[in-house]
Amino acid sequence: MILTVTLNTALDITYRVRSLRPHSSHRVSDVAERPGGKGVNVARVLAALGHEVTVTGFAGGATGEVVRDHLSAVPGLTDALVPVAGATRRTIAVADELTGDTTQLNEPGPEIEPAEWGAFLDRYEELVAGASAVALCGSLPPGVPVGAYAGLVRTARSAGVPVLLDTSGEPLRRGVAARPDIIKPNADELAELTGSHEPLRATQDARRRGARAVVASLGAAGLLAVTPEGRWRAAPPAAVRGNPTGAGDSAVAGLLSGLLEQLPWPDRLARAVALSAASVRSATAGEFDRTAYEELLGRVAVSGEFSAA
């Protein structure tokens, strides 16, 4: 079982309009509603790949109930969310059909009370004991300690369970120091962590700060990985137009599934890039175009070397 942690779960709502224009009224052509938050997106992709996955984090209010109802319909996915008094947030994506661009509006999460955080820690410790891998993903809702991910990384490492961390800012800085097996920042998050805007230098610096392996997302340019086994770049065969929301989460799912299947790093990265590109072609985060994925998988360009990085 793969465990994904989403402390700031969401209900993702996507509106499609013909053309998004500021200061104008718009007629919505389609509305899609899905459970969201980075770890939830990762879990849904993993489940679609055939893995057994458990989702934990927080859910509250009427929005939280809608999220849980959606999760109950996903084959292979187990809901272990901890109930809270506050309402789960919503994220609004407005997809412009004319340009292919998406505008994102993210609500803040609910205030987490100390007793609720304690209940989550108890649940997490129980779940980690039966997990084959853990993904810690996304932002922290109000009330959760800024060093929360560092503690969750240490709990997983103490249980001998590999852990991937995908967050940003101070939670990432503190989490890296706890020595996660993999971190997956994007270029901006990596630069904020290390102070360097040169991807290879920044990725190597992030490893020195504690991460065993660093896989940096470079947007349309693909992934850069620096690991104990070597370093590689992986890129899609061409730029992909569509909704980029959740593309990084699909990459995380590819990395985790490749880890559990003991694939060599180039194959893990090819899978992650293909899934990421195929998710851009999907209308909503947490889903991917399977036909596009299978077609892209064999065309991802991976270059690098097997040697200590």
Catalytic residues: 249
Say which residues have a Cβ less than 8 Å from residue 1's Cβ, sequence separation at least 6: 52, 53, 54, 78, 130, 131, 132
Judge contact between 265 and 228, C-beta under 8 A.
Answer: no
Is 238 exposed, middle or buried (CB count within 10 Å of its CB: 0-12, 13-18, 19+)?
exposed
Alpha-carbon gap, residue 57 to 72, rounded angstroms:
15
Number of residues that make up the chain: 309
How many CB atoms are closer than 10 A to CB 99?
10
40 neighbors 71 (Cβ within 8 angstroms): yes
Residue partners of 81: CB distance under 8 A and separation at least 6: 9, 55, 56, 57, 58, 59, 64, 67, 68, 71
- Per-residue tokens: 95: 């997809």
First to last CA, the chain: 30
Q: Are 104 and 245 in contact (CB under 8 A)?
A: yes
Distance CA 32, CA 15 (A): 7
- Half-sphere exposure of residue 103, counting CA atoms within 13 Å on the CB side? 11
* Residue bearing tokens 């402390």: 7
